[in-house]
Structure 1
Amino acid sequence: MDSLEQFRDNVRWTAAEKKVARRAFDQALERHLSAITAEAKRMMANVVDPSDLWEVEAYLTESRKTVDRIYQFRYSDLLRVFSVLMRDDWLKEADLVGLQPQKIADIKRSAEALRRMFRDTRDAPHRS
């Protein structure tokens, strides 16, 4: 696979795969929302003064933006979404059982490429 854009080209989903994809998507979303909830509860437990509340609000606002940006259930874009979710460990390979092996392989390969890009970007020296 040359790029993430290839995911958009001629991806066909069987009825069974559509069910697997929806379940996997929902599981990843549930994991992500559970983590956000746990962090928000932890932050609220540590609120000492009113300014701490705004930190919680900022965290929740940013989390919502992230969730809204990532979790788009469109079959034409789903393999890319799954790659991002796998890169971020919200989606597990076991969640994808029932998809065609080539789709799973493409998702895994793309997730790893995204990890490398993120790592390379993060580790690159910053110019001032």
Structure 2
Amino acid sequence: MVDTMREGWTELDGWTETEQAVAKEAFERAYGRAVERLVATVRDRTTALNSAESVWQLHDYLSIERHTMEGRFDFRLDGILFVFASLVKDELLTIKELTGLDAEKLAKIGAMSRF
């Protein structure tokens, strides 16, 4: 997980300290769920390993997942609404878990998560 949250963000940046804390906690919760989901999938796939080809397929899957997770779990407030919408859409996070963000941010996340 990449954490590029800058210290000292102010309300002028559009995020209160409370919102930043809510966002960080929700982000970390979703990351944990994504890791749990990945581990469960890998466990399932390893039971089907029966050839070199199946091992290489698992390797390819893990490479893709690593790339996807590293790109997705990049905590920057300037793009976090899109990340949250994606996480809600993929059921790694709920809108309710974002309670504490202002109504406009929640509405944007909710709208984007439907696409």
Scaled by the length of structure 1, what TM-score is found? 0.75
Residue 19 of structure 1: CA displacement? 0.7
RMSD over aligned CA atoms reads 1.4
- Structure 1 stretches of at least 4 aligned residues deviating more than 4 Å after TM superposition: none
**Counterpart pick for 1:58 among 50, 57, 60:** 60
1:86 maps to 2:84? no
Mean Cα deviation higher: 47-56 or 20-29: 47-56
Q: Give the distance between the partners of 1:87 and 1:28, measured in 2 at CA.
A: 12
- Stretches of structure 2 lacking an aligned partner (at least 5 in a row): 1-11
Q: Which residue does 1:26 correspond to in 2?
A: 28
Give 3-state SS (helix, strand or coil) of 1:80's partner.
Answer: helix
Gaps of 5+ in 1: 1-9, 115-128
Amino acid aligned to 1:48: N
> Using a 3 Å threshold, how does the CA distance of structure 1 residues 89 and 11 change in structure 2: closer, same or farther?
farther
Counterpart Cα distance in 1 of 2:51 and 2:62: 18
Q: Percent identity?
A: 28
Select the structure with the greater relative contact order (CA < 8 A; seq sep ≥ 6): 2
